[in-house]
Amino acid sequence: MTTLDDEDRREYYRIEDRIALEISPLSAAEALEPELLQDDSPLFNLLSELHLSDFESQHLLRQLSDKDRTLAAFLRAQNKRLDLLSAVVAQTLLGEIGQPHRVILSEGGIEFAQAQQIDPGTRVKVKMVLMPRAHGLLLRGRVTHCDLRPDGDYEVGTEFIDMTDAQRQLLARYILQRQQQQRRQALEQNDPAP
């Protein structure tokens, strides 16, 4: 995922997952100015902003919950409604981005297979929809390696660059939740039914 040695590379926990993913080169302006990073899809931008604002407001909801449980319960119900609406938007986006495919994901970067070669060092726009809650993330990345696989596809490693704290925390929370879910599934498969 990064150009660091293997010991430093293991700084982040990695998971194997299936996500909707679209990679494209950054424009010259986007490469120079992180705040100019935008997607052409208004729906994707809306989904991304929706999840980031939801994440940023979670600590406020926890504080409010201590003071007014009724209001906090109402706001959680509204949050659930927004989650359902975002799922509808995400299903529409899957038609644009494509169906989820296998990746290896960490807070530091992503590794995936694709048919086209990308030169190492290329700065890219990483557009992903994290399943099943359909979190939309638009990140900047730099290709660290692009190796030809025996099947003819290329294995591409990309490290994330210029992430905001909210983006990093959202991604970390997603990875932690998926890790816990995968461990539960492994335990259930290994634990014979009584």
Tell me how far CA of residue 4 lies from CA of 1, 7, 117, 144, 159, in angstroms.
8, 8, 22, 10, 11
Domain ranges, residue 52: 14-27+39-188
User: Is residue 89 one of the residues assigned to a domain?
Assistant: yes
4 in a structural domain: no
CATH number for the domain including 80?
Answer: 2.40.10.220
Asked if the structure places residue 80 within a domain, the reply is yes
Q: What's the rounded mean pLDDT across residues 188-192?
A: 75
In a domain, 33, yes or no: no
The pTM of the whole model exceeds 0.75: no
Strand intervals (E) in 89-153: 101-105, 109-114, 123-130, 135-148
Length of the chain, in residues? 194
How many domains does the structure of the chain reveal? Answer: 1
Residue 193 lies in a domain: no
Indicate the helix (H) or strand (E) that contains 25: strand 15-25
114, part of any domain: yes
**Residue 1 domain flag:** no
pLDDT tens, residue by residue, 38-69: 666 667 677 777 767 776 777 787 787 888 88
